[in-house]
Amino acid sequence: MIVSVRAPATSANLGPGFDALGLALALYDEVTVETTDGGLDVTVTGQGADVLPRDERHLVVRAMREVFAVLDRAPPGLAVTCHNRIPQARGLGSSSAAIVAGVLLARELVDGGRERLDDEAVLRLAARLEGHPDNVAACLRGGATIAWQPGPGEVRAARFDPAPAVRPVVFVPAQQALTSAARAVLPESVPHADAAHAAGRAALLVHALTAAPQWLFDATEDRLHQPYRAAGIPASTRVLQQLRAAGIPAVISGAGPSVLALSPVPADIVTGGGVVRHDLAVDLAGAVVRTGTLG
């Protein structure tokens, strides 16, 4: 049996929506799994091909094993092929794409898997493996999402379509950054004024994304996490400052170091080398499962 998943890149936070808001981007990793008579074979091409493991440590495989354990059934062997386009450790949801792909692939490979592990259970499991729900929610559902946790082990996500005027442009610096390191610089508490600012801007951001794109610049202003991370990602901070000085609604993508603009960017705005630009669309479908390889 051969199953493939196309999983989109994602950008979390979108400025003030820390650990809650996510946006799916039309940049995809494609993973194909074929059941075999035994063993594990992992092939990786594209982004991360020179560093990612080819054994049980690979994140797609780890996610698949979690599902097999939940469903108490697994094929005798697996041949996994990953074609990665999402930059690794750049704040664009590469780990979420791998987790989502692995969970969906494993569910598809088990008879009755969709009935025994429904979409809400998939979201909960993927969020547990990732450690936070914002990226995996957007990767699974597509469009823009608001994710929250009503209680321990619980995850919910609401999805909406951004307005056509939302045109993502991503700037990817050469520097990599780990989410764990980016979280480590955040303070245990923030001033009440900054918390109130974040709440107001996050609420405005949902309205701006859907109905009032002219307010995206104000809505993406953040005091909750980006200022604390700025010193550790100087190239990203420079790009962010250039974009916002030009009136473009731009944010650090997830934990960084990529920078996400939510409207078209003139070619001469961002200066300096070492930054790769991607003009993208919003992905509206989320992760797509297909039988057979993807074309």
pLDDT digits (tens, 9 = 90+) for 204-255: 999 999 999 999 999 999 999 999 999 899 999 999 999 999 999 999 999 8
The architecture that CATH gives domain 2-160+282-291 is 2-Layer Sandwich (3.30)
Residue 76 and residue 71: Cα distance in Å, rounded?
A: 15
Number of CB atoms found within 10 A of residue 189's CB: 8
Given a cut of 90, is residue 178 above it in pLDDT? no
Q: What is the pLDDT of residue 291?
A: 86
Given a cut of 60, is residue 189 above it in pLDDT? yes
pTM exceeding 0.85? yes
Q: What is the pLDDT of residue 176?
A: 82
Residue 59 and residue 126: Cα distance in Å, rounded?
A: 11
Q: Contact, 61 vs 102, CB < 8 A?
A: yes
Percent of the chain scoring above 70 in pLDDT: 99
Question: Using the 8-state DSSP alphabet, how is residue 108 labeled?
Answer: H
Closest residue by Cα to residue 95 from 176, 209, 205: 176
Q: List Cβ neighbours of 154 (8 Å cut-off, separation of 6 or more).
A: 124
Q: Parallel, antiparallel, or unpaired for β 77-84 and 39-46?
A: parallel
Return the H-helix or E-strand segment holding 151. Answer: none
Given a cut of 50, is residue 275 above it in pLDDT? yes
Given a cut of 50, is residue 191 above it in pLDDT? yes
Q: Contact, 56 vs 62, CB < 8 A?
A: yes
Task: Name the class of domain 169-279.
Answer: alpha beta
Given a cut of 60, is residue 295 above it in pLDDT? no
Q: What is the pLDDT of residue 292?
A: 67
Domains 2-160+282-291 and 169-279 fall in the same CATH topology = no
Ranges of each domain in the chain:
2-160+282-291, 169-279
Q: Contact, 221 vs 241, CB < 8 A?
A: no
> What mean pLDDT is predicted for residues 47-74?
97
- Strand, coil or helix: what is 71? helix
Q: List Cβ neighbours of 250 (8 Å cut-off, separation of 6 or more).
A: 220, 239, 240, 243, 244, 259, 260, 261, 262
Residue 62 and residue 43: Cα distance in Å, rounded?
A: 15
pLDDT tens digits along 77-116: 999 999 999 999 999 999 999 999 999 999 999 999 999 9
82 phi/psi in degrees, rounded to 5? -115, 125
Q: How confident is the model at residue 16 (pLDDT cuts 50, 70, 90)?
A: very high
> What mean pLDDT is predicted for residues 3-26?
97
